[in-house]
C-alpha cells in the first residue's frame, strides 16, 4: 500500500530557517519552519519501523524509545537497533535516531559510561515496572538505581521518566499526581543536578512541578494531550484509539498543558509519544495503550498553537527548546511550510480494496504497519493544516 499527501514534495532542499517575527493571528494561513525534533518516539522494530518512517514528515531527529521485546538495556543493543532504523529509512530521508537505554534494577554505572562513550546514546528511560507497554522489566523502586543516577549526573546523561505509579489502590486518573509526590519530589531533592525529562505530562500538577524546578528538569507534551480530554475515550461508546498512557485527563488539565506548551517556556517541548499498535490489538477485549500520531505530528501541534494565537511560538516548541536541553544544535538549513488547508490524501488505485481510492480532506482510516494496519488518531476526520517541504 502506498499513500502520499498532495503537495508533500521532497524534503531537505537546503533552504534557510524562516525567522518568525511578531505575533501570528488565528487567521495566519502559512508558517515556515526548520525541520523539527520529536523527543519521544516509538518506531517499534522490523517491518513496522519502515512503515512508521515512511509515514513521518518534517522530523529530522527523534529520541527513540527502548521498550522493545526484549528491551534495549545496553549500548550494544542500542547501536544494533540504531542500525536497523537507519537501514529502514526511505531513500533520501533526512533523519537521525537518538538512542536510549531501558533502565532496569540491574543497570550499572558502567552501562552509563559505555552509553555516553558511544556517542549515539542520548538518555536513559525509566519505566516503573508494569506501568505501560513492555514495562515488565522496569524499575521496581527508584532507590535501586540511585548509584546509576549519580553516574548519569557525572557524564551529563538525561533521565527520561514515565511518571506514573503502578499501585492498584491508586485511582487510574491520579497515577501521575501520586507519582509527583512519592517519586519525583524526593528524586529531585536527592539528585538536584540530574537532568530529567518528565515525559508526556498530563496534569496541571505536573506543569506546576516542572515549572517550579530548576533548568535541569523539563517535560514533553504530546499533540493528543493538547487536543483532547478524557471525554474523547468515551464519545458515543468506547473509543480505543484515544486510549493512551498516561491516560487523557479532565479539561482543566488539558488547558494547563496548552498554556504550558504555548507559553514559550523552554522547559516544555515536543514529544509525540506516537505509539503504533495493530488495529486488531487496539480493538480487542484488552486493547493496547497508545495513540498513533507520527503521520501528522507537526500539523496536529499546529492546530493547538493556532487556536491560542501562538503560532509564533511553535518553532521554539518543535525545534529549539528540546535541542537546547539535550545540547543539540538546532536545525536551521532546511525548511518546510505549514499551510492552513485541510488534508487531501490520495491512495494508489487498485491497492487495498477496503481503503477509499481518493480521500478528500480526511485522515486515512488506516495506514500500513508492517504486514498489518494501524488506525491513526482522528481517522476519517479532518486535519486543518498541511505540511509541505520546500
Q: Which of 177, 255, 181, 182 is nearest to 221 (CA)?
A: 255
In contact, 272 and 225? CB cutoff 8 Å: no
Beta strands at 372-374 and 367-369: parallel, antiparallel or unpaired: antiparallel
Instruction: Reduce the DSSP state of residue 382 to 3 states and report it.
Output: coil
Contact 56, 96 (CB under 8 A): no
CA–CA separation, 289 and 281 (whole Å) = 9
Judge if the upstream peptide bond of residue 150 is cis by omega within 30 degrees of 0.
Answer: no
Q: Is residue 37 annotated as a catalytic residue, yes or no? A: no
Number of neighbouring beta carbons within 10 Å of residue 339: 15
Residues 200, 208: Cα–Cα separation, whole Å: 14
**Closest to 199 in 3D by CA, of 254, 161, 247:** 161
CA 272, 34, 208, 194 torsion: positive or negative?
positive
One DSSP character per residue, 205-262 reads HHHHHHHHS-TTEEEEE-HHHHH--GGGGGTTS--GGG--SSPP--HHHHHHHHHHHT
Q: Is the dihedral of CA 256, 257, 263, 265 positive or negative?
A: positive
CA distance 22 to 201: 29
Closest C-alpha among 155, 169, 204, 165 to residue 327: 155
Choose, from 273, 309, 348, 371, the residue flagged as catalytic: 273
The answer to whether the beta carbons of residues 222 and 261 sit under 8 Å apart is no
Residues tagged active-site: 273
Amino acid at each position: 500500500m502506498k499513500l502520499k499527501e498532495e503537495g508533500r514534495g521532497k524534503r531537505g532542499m537546503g533552504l534557510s530557517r524562516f525567522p518568525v517575527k511578531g505575533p501570528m493571528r488565528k487567521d495566519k494561513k502559512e508558517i515556515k519552519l526548520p525541520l523539527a525534533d520529536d523527543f519521544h518516539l516509538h518506531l517499534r522494530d522490523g517491518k513496522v519501523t519502515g512503515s512508521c518512517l515512511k509515514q513521518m514528515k518534517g522530523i529530522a531527529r527523534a529520541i527513540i524509545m527502548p521498550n522493545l521485546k526484549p528491551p534495549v538495556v545496553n549500548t550494544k543493543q542500542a547501536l544494533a537497533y540504531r542500525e536497523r532504523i537507519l537501514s529502514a529509512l526511505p531513500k533520501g530521508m533526512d533523519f537521525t535516531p537518538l538512542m536510549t537505554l531501558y533502565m532496569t534494577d540491574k543497570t550499572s554505572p558502567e552501562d552509563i559510561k559505555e552509553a555516553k562513550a558511544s556517542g549515539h546514546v542520548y538518555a536513559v528511560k525509566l519505566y516503573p515496572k508494569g506501568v505501560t507497554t513492555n514495562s515488565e522489566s522496569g524499575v521496581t523502586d527508584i532507590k535501586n538505581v540511585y548509584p546509576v543516577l549519580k553516574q548519569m549526573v557525572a557524564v551529563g546523561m538525561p533521565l527520561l521518566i514515565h511518571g506514573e505509579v503502578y499501585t492498584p489502590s491508586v485511582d487510574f486518573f491520579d497515577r501521575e499526581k501520586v507519582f509527583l509526590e512519592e517519586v519525583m519530589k524526593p528524586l529531585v531533592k536527592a539528585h538536584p543536578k540530574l537532568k530529567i525529562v518528565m515525559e508526556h505530562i498530563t496534569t496541571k500538577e505536573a506543569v506546576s512541578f516542572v515549572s517550579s524546578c530548576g533548568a535541569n528538569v523539563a517535560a514533553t507534551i504530546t499533540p493528543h494531550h493538547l487536543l483532547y480530554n478524557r471525554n474523547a475515550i468515551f464519545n458515543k461508546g468506547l473509543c480505543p484509539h484515544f486510549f493512551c498512557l498516561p491516560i487523557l485527563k479532565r479539561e482543566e488539565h488539558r488547558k494547563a498543558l496548552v498554556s504550558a506548551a504555548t507559553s514559550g517556556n523552554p522547559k516544555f517541548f515536543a514529544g509525540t509519544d506516537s505509539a503504533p499498535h495493530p488495529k486488531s490489538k487496539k480493538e480487542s477485549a484488552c486493547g493496547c495503550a497508545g495513540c498513533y500520531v507520527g503521520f501528522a505530528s507537526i500539523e496536529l501541534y499546529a492546530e493547538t498553537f493556532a487556536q491560542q494565537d501562538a503560532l509564533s511560538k511553535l518553532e521554539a516548541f518543535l525545534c529549539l527548546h528540546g535541542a537546547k536541553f539535550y545540547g543539540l544544535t538546532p536545525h536551521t538549513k532546511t525548511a518546510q511550510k505549514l499551510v492552513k488547508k485541510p488534508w487531501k490524501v490520495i491512495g494508489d488505485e487498485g491497492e487495498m480494496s477496503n481503503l477509499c481510492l481518493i480521500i478528500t480532506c480526511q485522515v486515512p482510516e488506516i495506514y500500513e504497519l508492517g504486514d498489518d494496519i494501524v488506525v491513526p488518531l482522528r481517522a476519517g476526520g479532518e486535519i486543518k493544516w498541511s505540511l509541505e517541504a520546500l
